[in-house]
Structure formats: structure tokens, C-alpha cells
């Protein structure tokens, strides 16, 4: 049954089949957009959820799987699509969101890395691009965006896990996402990047300790989301700007999206807090995804109510 499908982790090949089948099963609501390809020439597919043709509709962007070993992240993107398609017009919150916003979902931003964690090294984080002058492979895609690129919190050493790349947007995966968001920046109102682990709801900036102009608004949004998760699921998520809540991390997709003009930009760190870490068991997928779903709904509804 479908519930077991969404309570399991899936190989990259399975996810590509799922993308195709989801579009075929929902031809009026789901469109598949090829936004580019990875270093090893795997396709980067975005699913566009659109339930109506309301003029001037805004949009929300959710990307998963930028870091290969964070398997709960792609699992959440699949979960979110399934929930949206199954509960539209049944659940009031998702109906309200989808009536007002299209949703662009990129289930696996780093397919080469994800594939590598299934075949070779479960703990791989970066992409799989080759770096001149060294045997070391991979760039940390969440340090490769053009936002205070390669300053403190990233490294210019290719053998490190936080290698920023040869230059901003040096990686094909980063370019594909940045190009798509640049060409859709007037309609994308919310940017969400899904990671694990440590149960945090973060917003810009991570590249500096400076606060955004809408810092208090973003803080209120993640605070309310964390409170709802605590109330409904008895689980604790910390929240705040990335630099203050987790660590300095320049070149991140959320900071870049914010500077592009997407003022509601967030990075979620899903379950858990370290007991299993990146190796979260499949039996925990449902609760982790429901917690993340509640946070997405809280934020999206607040933006819908504002506009
Ligand atoms: N854009 C940086 C948000 C804060 C850091 C997020 C974590 C996720 Se694993 C990281 O990229 O190190
Ligand atoms: Zn991550
Ligand atoms: Zn993380």
C-alpha cells in the first residue's frame, strides 16, 4: 500500500520512477520540469504542483537532498507531494495553501551524491565533481552559492566536507537551482531547503551574524512552527537565524535566495538530535515528515494570510 512506500527510503532509480508515475497519475496537477543536470549528467527534475490556473499565483520552492547522506530529506519531499495530492480538498490547511500557491519541489538536488550513498559510502555529503590538482572529490553545494562565498564557515580545501568549490555556482547542480530561481524570483515567495539532522528551523543569515530586515517576522514564523510541533508531537525543535543557532555557514542556498529577494527563506534540519543522526530508521520517517509538514504548513499559511 502507498503508506509503506512513503515510510521507506528509496534509491535514486526508484525516485526517478516515482517522479514519472506521479506525473502520469496526476496529469492536471503535476508537471515535471527538467532544470538541469548533475556533474555525472543525471537529470535534475522539479515537480510543479498546481491545482488551478488562478492568475498571478505565487509559489513556494522546496528542495531536498542537497546533502547526500541526509536521506530523510528526499523522503520528506516525496511525503509532501503525496500528502498534497491526497489531502487537497480534504485538509483545510493544504487546500488553502494549494489554492493560493503553486509548489515547486526538487526531490534530489544532489543525485550523484545520493546515488553514491546507496552504492559506496553512506556518509557522503558533497556532490561528486572532480577537483583539479587533487584526488579529493566533491563540493559542498550548500557552500557553493553566491552569498559571502567561501568566507568563515566554508573551506577552500577540496578534501574538506565544507569545500566551497572553485568559484560561486561552480557546480552544475548549484547553477541549475540558481538559474531556475532567478527566472522565477518574481513569483517564488517562499524558499525551503530540507536537511538533517538536529531538529532546527533556521532562517538567514548563516553567512554573517547580521540580522535580516525581516528578522523578527521570520523568528515569529519559526517560533510558532516549533511551538506547534512541540504541542502536537511533543518534540523539540530549536529555531533562529543560522549563524546564531547552528554555526557560520556562508554560500548557502537560503542566504542566496533571500538576497535574490525571496524574503521567506528557511533551512530545516529534520530529525533526530543525534541518536541515529543521518541513519534515521525507516520507522521514524512518518513522525519526522509529519513534524516537517506541520512547520511547512505553519509558514506557508502565514504567508498566504499576509498577501
Ligand atoms: N545555509 C546554511 C544554513 C545553516 C547550515 C545548514 C547545515 C545543514 Se547540514 C549545513 O549546510 O551545514
Ligand atoms: Zn545538510
Ligand atoms: Zn545538517
Can you tell me which residue has the cell 529534520?
270
In this predicted structure, what is the pLDDT of residue 1? 52
List, as one string, the DSSP characters of 213-263.
TTHHHHHHHHHHHHHHHHHHH----EEEEHHHHT----S-HHHHHHHHT--
Distance (Å) from CA 248 to ligand 1 centroid: 9
Ligand 1 surroundings by CB, under 6 angstroms: 67, 142, 195, 202, 206, 242, 246, 249, 252, 254-255, 267, 269
In this predicted structure, what is the pLDDT of residue 3? 65
- Interatomic CA distance for residues 211 and 291, integer angstroms: 27
pLDDT at 25 over 70: yes
Q: How far is CA 68 from CA 53, 116, 275, 279, in A?
A: 35, 8, 19, 12
pLDDT at 2 over 80: no
Mean pLDDT of the region 115-134: 97
- Interatomic CA distance for residues 268 and 231, integer angstroms: 18
What does the pLDDT look like over 69-90, one tens digit per residue? 999 999 999 999 999 999 999 9
pLDDT at 306 over 80: yes
Map residue 291 onto helix, strand or coil. helix
Distance (Å) from CA 141 to ligand 1 centroid: 10
What does the pLDDT look like over 182-193, one tens digit per residue? 999 999 999 999
What does the pLDDT look like over 281-295, one tens digit per residue? 999 999 999 999 999
In this predicted structure, what is the pLDDT of residue 273? 98
Chain centroid, CA 299 distance in Å? 14
Report CA dihedral (171, 139, 293, 304) to the nearest 10 degrees: -40
**List of residues 6+ apart from 17 with CB closer than 8 A:** none
Distance (Å) from CA 14 to ligand 1 centroid: 27
Chain centroid, CA 268 distance in Å? 7
Confidence (pTM):
0.98
What interface predicted TM-score (ipTM) does this complex get? 0.98
Per DSSP, the chain holds a count of helices (H) and strands (E) of 10, 8
Selecting among 171, 173, 269, 291, the annotated active-site residue is 269
- Interatomic CA distance for residues 165 and 144, integer angstroms: 6
Amino acid at each position: 500500500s502507498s503508506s509503506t512506500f512513503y515510510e521507506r527510503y528509496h534509491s535514486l532509480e526508484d525516485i526517478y520512477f516515482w517522479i514519472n508515475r506521479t506525473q502520469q497519475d496526476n496529469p492536471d496537477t503535476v508537471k515535471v520540469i527538467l532544470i538541469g543536470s548533475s556533474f555525472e549528467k543525471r537529470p535534475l527534475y522539479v515537480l510543479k504542483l498546481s491545482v488551478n490556473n488562478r492568475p498571478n499565483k505565487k509559489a513556494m520552492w522546496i528542495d531536498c537532498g542537497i546533502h547526500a547522506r541526509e536521506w530523510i530529506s528526499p523522503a520528506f519531499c516525496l511525503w509532501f507531494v503525496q500528502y498534497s495530492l491526497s489531502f487537497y480538498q480534504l485538509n483545510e490547511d493544504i487546500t488553502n495553501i494549494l489554492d493560493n500557491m503553486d509548489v515547486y519541489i526538487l526531490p534530489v538536488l544532489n543525485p550523484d551524491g545520493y546515488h553514491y550513498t546507496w552504492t559506496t559510502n553512506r556518509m557522503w555529503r558533497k556532490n561528486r565533481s572532480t577537483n583539479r590538482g587533487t584526488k579529493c572529490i566533491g563540493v559542498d553545494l550548500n557552500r557553493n552559492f553566491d552569498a559571502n562565498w567561501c568566507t568563515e564557515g566554508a573551506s577552500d580545501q577540496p578534501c574538506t566536507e565544507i569545500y566551497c568549490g572553485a568559484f560561486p555556482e561552480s557546480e552544475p547542480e548549484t547553477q541549475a537551482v540558481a538559474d531556475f530561481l532567478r527566472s522565477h524570483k518574481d513569483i517564488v515567495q517562499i524558499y525551503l531547503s530540507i536537511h538533517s539532522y538536529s531538529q532546527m528551523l533556521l532562517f538567514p543569515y548563516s553567512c554573517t551574524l547580521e540580522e535580516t530586515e525581516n528578522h523578527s517576522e521570520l523568528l515569529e514564523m519559526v517560533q510558532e512552527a516549533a511551538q506547534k510541533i512541540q504541542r502536537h508531537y511533543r518534540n523539540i525543535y530549536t529555531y533562529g537565524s543560522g549563524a546564531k543557532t547552528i554555526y557560520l555557514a556562508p554560500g548557502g542556498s537560503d542566504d542566496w535566495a533571500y538576497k535574490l529577494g525571496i524574503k521567506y527563506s528557511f533551512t530545516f534540519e529534520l530529525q533526530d538530535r543525534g541518536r541515529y543522526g543521518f541513519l534515521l530508521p525507516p520507522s521514524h520517517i512518518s513522525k519526522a515528515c509529519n513534524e516537517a509538514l506541520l512547520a511547512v504548513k505553519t509558514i506557508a499559511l502565514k504567508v498566504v494570510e499576509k498577501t
